Amino acid sequence: MSIASLDAPIRFNPIDAAADWLHRVPLGLRALGLAGALMIAGYQVSLALQTPAQLIRGELEAAAAETAALPWNRSREQVGAALARHFPGRIVSVEAAKFPAIVSVTLQDIDRNTCEEARSVARRIEGSVVVALETAQPCGDSNAMRWRIMP
């Protein structure tokens, strides 16, 4: 014995459901969500258009802010780990023997063009924490650049 249903099958279209939900959201909230999405997209585009030297400057600024926020009783290893995370995808060494007075950050394997641009873009960063380029060697094919972070 089989049971047959004469009811129409239930159809679900996720696009129609999302459109119906979106129409129930107030217009002001939709505009706010769109503005937020545009801001996030614009920020991602600006990051994608930065040169490697500009990215290094941003990473140094983030590391400087982290240095200012760290408690003075942190060990060298803790300071090194906290600062190294601001340089993703780079070979970095952090010397924190004189923390909190001075922390040195060395970036390895920087190409000639990035080195030359970083010498002008990130030579010295003023603020509540000063970041200064320490090495004055001419740029070669592969460079190690060292900055002092002074809270």
The DSSP bridge partners found for residue 110 are: 143
| pLDDT for residue 5 | 65
Task: Give the contacts of 6 (CB within 8 A, at least 6 positions apart).
Answer: none
* In the chain, where the domains are located: 14-48, 52-150
Which secondary structure element, helix H or strand E, spans residue 6, and what is its range? Answer: none
State both tokens at 24: 């129930």
For residue 47, what are the contacts with CB-CB under 8 A and spacing of at least 6? 55
Range list of β-strands (E), 79-135: 92-95, 103-110, 124-125, 130-133
Local structure of residue 115 (DSSP, 8 states): H
**pTM of the full predicted structure?**
0.72
Cα Rg of the chain, angstroms: 26
pLDDT digits (tens, 9 = 90+) for 100-143: 899 999 999 999 999 999 999 999 999 899 999 987 678 889 89
Length of the chain equals: 151
Name the pLDDT band for 22 (thresholds 50, 70, 90): confident
Question: Using one digit for the tens of pLDDT, what is the confidence trace for 57-68?
Answer: 999 999 999 999
Q: What are phi and psi of 127, to 5 degrees?
A: 165, -160
